[in-house]
Chains A and B, each alone.
Chain A
């Protein structure tokens, strides 16, 4: 496993041992600032030129009772000198800020792994809250691991002394102390974090000073303290990547930018109607800060109003967008029917989360595929596109704008909570590389009928209110195929249902043919995935092929309509395996469409697949 800690045989000129890759997990109380620590470590790691992938894992409660296991928040980062695709199966280094964090995360650390513990938090009271009857530091719990016990609380307080902060404020700097230590261990620059702290606490210079003091103290501790010999400083060399300008991004940023670029290519202003919901709200926040780009954001009174206002905006000639998560999308269903029958463009972004109902709102899942493809009353087909990585969110966002405006249809963009929050280095694309797809509003009254279709796309004209000579009425009642007036004629309804379906099916001719992500075009085993499982499946498939196994990875981005050659491609394999973070949804779609005996592999625990688990499964299929 490439993600396992390798003790470098080689050293660099400063005597630091060279590693291929490291996986670190920071875990602590929700109030301990673990997400911040992880994000800052990610930024410095990205600036160091490593490839990386992250997995933020936080509780649904904003401030769960301090010290409890359900209040534990974690952030995992996997970084390497090679092309990395997942946040890592198991942490090589686990940092725990309190007993509850140890209790929750110890099970994921392989024996021999490094655990850095803040002993200052291992008080009787905290042990009790975490459910420890005896102290795990002394009762043998961690005897199989390389434990580094440091009283981080005490050392932090000593470090911030004299900076003018209260004891409470001082103690809150212990995440920065920890970050300092890890920065020393893995040779990360502290300056970006110092700059960030100075900016963040510009109005509270004493808080900035305390945090910086803690950061530096953690780093100095690494240099001077006698840590066990196998926990010395390491270096993870830069990954060899394509030339270009890079930045670390999350799926929220790339989705926002993709929508902006898409709207610009279409020549439209954006209207985002949204109702706050985890994990989609950050899109509303991000676009609300980009209003100078012709963006109107509207925090609606509910999910229904969010989509309805977006549809109203599309009707008026803007690019209507709404974003939510599964339960919110459920509420938008009726309006999706209206958008389908009114044949107006609309972009619906679903940041999927674990469900049903409230489910596990902060945990990831890809279980809304049925909802996206089939989840409406009557025959209401609409295109569905799913993103694979935070970077892919950019391309998918542009693509859904193109499809929605060209085909006058609502489009569902299946995003995931994991993609929204996870970070990866991204080669910043050139927006000028995207061919413009300008919308042509109908203006000519000659021969205008609201449902007169374009022969090629089958799309009706977009005639926005305010255009002289084009007054017309649209709405939810079935429309006459020719005149667009309301019609209760049964044969007309049959014809309209068929043409709405044909319009969507026809999009299959306007999307790329399905290719294999890696592996042979025919063979023994094809593993078919969609969404954020891309990285784990790809890495597992590569490992298998290195071991001589015939495994192909097929990643489906266009969930509906499916690429027109997909059935033929799948038919070229002896076995088909469909791993999904749901109870088997894409597999049903593929079986239904192609009558192929695809096998399902599921994981529904709110976490990404582990590469090693997938490898075992692939191998088992080939050994049958």
Chain B
């Protein structure tokens, strides 16, 4: 075990490296790194045992700013590199950082497979629905009609929902949060860390330069309560500033609808209870889009299963017990040989 007992608990700032942050002033990434550092402190994470791995993009600069081990790799490939790290040393605590272009466009394939395999890493996808570092082109999460240097008349291809994608890849922990939500995000990251297997967290991140305000329709303080719904296991899916709006299954149809408790004879009993282990329900929640629906936040889905690297090493241990290694000289002499004297 590499885990060390720390003599003195570290503070969030102790997880910051000596490097100056180089994101644009006002970028959502500043808030995210604060939440991550708070989560680290809460987890009492050992910096020596913690690794941040990123691809390419604004978000991917993240490892340079953490006083842990860090590997800033190539575009889209962070999940693949992280897989190798975790298979070589399952004791390490590995965090994978990337943006929507990195993880859903150029690296979509690796995101699919890290989730499917259920490698025990935390995947944080900073979704700002735009390419920042290459100066503002639309991304696979940009809404139809997004005007950008490469789509001056508006984009025509339909976007993907990161959480729906993750659920489709058989991810076993899928959560969503807003970058500036310093109240909830650190706790959510702690839960992500505690989940064994891949934890996928979509963080809605505002790009102040190329896509400012893209989420403001449901993140602005005044309207956030009506624009978002917090998913909490075992609790009714209620939201709104008065807490009386909720989700229920449309009678006679596999669909969700927004209702108001106390109106048209609706009672709280009809409100759907969040069952975080129910994948079809999670898919419906993850896919809800404003303005007709609130945006689902919190732990949308959680259903732990065996992590790939654990199963793999268990299998190797079994194989080794059945067939212990002999000297390599003996291995090379097994089978048909002949001797010339």
- Where the two chains meet, the residues of A that have a C-beta atom closer than 8 Å to any C-beta of B are 43, 46-47, 49, 192, 241-248, 257, 260-261, 264, 269, 271, 273, 290-294, 296, 298, 300-302, 304-305, 308-318, 320, 334-335, 337-338, 342, 428-432, 464-477, 485-486
Contact = CB atoms under 8 A, between A and B. Distances in A.
Contact of A475 (B63, B84, B113, B333): B63
A245 B336 CA distance: 10
Contacts of B337: 245-247, 428
B127 interface: no
B209 interface: no
A469 B48 contact: yes
Nearest to B323: A292
B341 interface: yes
A438 to B, nearest CB: 16
Nearest to A296: B87
Contacts of A308: 73-74, 77, 80-81, 83-84, 110
A488 to B, nearest CB: 10
Nearest to A433: B329
A235 B340 CA distance: 19
A342 B335 CA distance: 42
Nearest to A318: B88
A466 B85 contact: no
A363 to B, nearest CB: 29
B39 interface: no
Mostly, the B contact residues are: mixed
A56 to B, nearest CB: 18
Interface string B303-341: 000000000100110011001110111011101111111
Contact of A46 (B74, B328, B338): B338
B112 interface: yes
Given A473-B70, A476-B73, A304 B80 contact: yes
Nearest to A238: B340
A309 B87 contact: yes
Nearest to A304: B77
B51 interface: yes
A472 B48 CA distance: 9
Contacts of A335: 74, 77
Interface residues of B, number: 62
A264 B327 CA distance: 11
A245 B69 CA distance: 48
A163 B296 CA distance: 69
A312 B81 contact: yes
Given A292-B316, A304-B77, A471-B67, A312 B88 contact: yes
B244 interface: no
Nearest to B3: A466
Nearest to A47: B338
B61 to A, nearest CB: 9
B340 to A, nearest CB: 5
Contacts of B91: 466
Contacts of B338: 46-47, 49, 245-247
Interface of B: 2, 4, 17, 19, 47-51, 53-54, 56, 63-64, 66-75, 77, 80-89, 91-92, 109-110, 112-113, 312, 315-316, 319-320, 323-325, 327-329, 331-333, 335-341
B49 A315 contact: no
Contact of B70 (A291, A296, A320, A472): A472
Contacts of B66: 473
Contacts of A334: 74-75
Contacts of B82: 312
9 contacts: A243-B340, A291-B315, A298-B87, A302-B109, A469-B48, A472-B70, A473-B70, A476-B72, A485-B19
A314 B71 CA distance: 12
A309 B329 contact: no
Nearest to A246: B338
Contacts of A302: 109
A334 B331 CA distance: 36
A154 to B, nearest CB: 33
B188 to A, nearest CB: 24
Given A241-B340, A473-B72, A465 B85 contact: yes
Given A245-B338, A260-B328, A309-B80, 5 more contacts: A247-B338, A290-B331, A293-B331, A296-B88, A312-B88
B264 to A, nearest CB: 50
A257 B331 contact: yes
Contacts of B320: 291-292
A475 B70 contact: yes
A243 B66 CA distance: 60
A242 B113 contact: no
Nearest to A485: B19
Given A245-B333, A301-B113, A316 B316 contact: no
A312 B83 contact: yes
Contacts of B113: 300-301, 305
Contacts of A314: 84, 88
A459 B114 CA distance: 32
B341 A315 contact: no
Contacts of B329: 428, 430-432
Nearest to B315: A291
